[in-house]
Amino acid sequence: EKYMEFDLNNQGEIDLMSVKRMMEKMGAPKTHLELKKMISEVTGGVSETISYQDFVNVMLGKRSAVLKLVMMFEGKANESNPKPSGPPPERDIASLP
C-alpha cells in the first residue's frame, strides 16, 4: 500500500519527486542531493527510480530506517484515538443517557 501511495505516476517506479513527497510526509524532508544519494544507495547506483523490489528490500532489509520512520508516522496517527484498556468502569442508572 505504501509503495502504491507514493508511485505518483502509476508506472511501477518511485521517482525523485515521489521520494521527496514521501520523506516530507514522514516529517524528514531532504534536499535533492540527499534524495539522489538515497535512491542511488537503494538501487545500487543502477537506476534513478526505485522499483517495487528495491522498496521491499529496503523495508525488510538490515537498513530498515525507512520502515521505522513509516511505523513511527503511522503510530503517531493512531495515538490521537487511544483505546482504553482493562474492563469498563461500573455504571449505575443515573449515569445512563
Predicted confidence at residue 18, as pLDDT, reads: 86
pTM: 0.54
Q: Is-contact 49 10, C-beta < 8 A? A: no
Ordered DSSP codes for 21-81: HHHHHTT----HHHHHHHHHHHHTTS-SSEEHHHHHHHHHSS--HHHHHHHHHHHHHHTTS
- Give the count of beta carbons closer than 10 Å to the beta carbon of residue 6: 18
Residue 97 has pLDDT above 80, yes or no: no
Q: Which CATH architecture has domain 1-75?
A: Orthogonal Bundle (1.10)
How confident is the model over 33-84, as pLDDT tens digits?
Answer: 888 888 888 888 888 888 888 877 777 765 556 666 666 666 655 555 556 6
